[in-house]
Amino acid sequence: MRAKLQKLPTLRTVNDGDEAFPGMTAHLAPGHTRGSLVFVLRGREHDVIFTGDAVKNRAEFISGKTDMAYDPVVSSATVKLVWDIWKRRPGSIVIPGHDVPMVQGERETSLHW
């Protein structure tokens, strides 16, 4: 299957820090699975962070403790990475893989659905 995928003319691989699409950066986010990626869409006023299953829900995000990970220590480091990205710009939104979006304010965090 991998060989067939690599022959597709539309396939483009990305590495940690690469721009996957204009304005969207990919970040390596292992833990849940080895090849997980987090995508950050850079906006004028704030960023939108799509975590996929690298951070599955707000419980994992807030506690830093992950469930169903191939490596819980690596997965917790990924949660910290997402926090660090999220805190860079007030107003940024993080969207966990299986939960509601959350907004980072200057003094508080709020949930939006």
Rounded to whole angstroms, the Cα distance separating 40 from 17 reads: 10
Domain ranges of the chain: 14-111
Dihedral (Cα; 11, 92, 74, 63), 10-degree rounding: -140
Contact 46, 90 (CB under 8 A): yes
pLDDT one-digit tens code per residue, 52-102? 999 999 998 988 888 888 888 899 999 999 999 999 999 999 999 999 999
Q: Give pLDDT, residue 109.
A: 55
Residue 17 φ/ψ region, left for φ over 0, alpha for ψ in the -120 to 50 degree band, beta for the rest: left
At the fourth CATH level, which superfamily is domain 14-111? Ribonuclease Z/Hydroxyacylglutathione hydrolase-like (3.60.15.10)
Please compute, for residue 87, the number of CA atoms within 13 A of its CA located in the half-sphere on the CB side.
9
Q: Give pLDDT, residue 80.
A: 94
pLDDT one-digit tens code per residue, 6-35? 888 888 889 999 999 999 999 999 888 888
Rounded to whole angstroms, the Cα distance separating 74 from 42 reads: 25
Residue 48 tokens, joined? 């939108």
Looking at per-residue pLDDT, the higher value among 3 and 96 belongs to 96
Cβ count near 69 (within 10 Å): 22
The yes-or-no verdict on residue 110 having pLDDT over 60 is: no
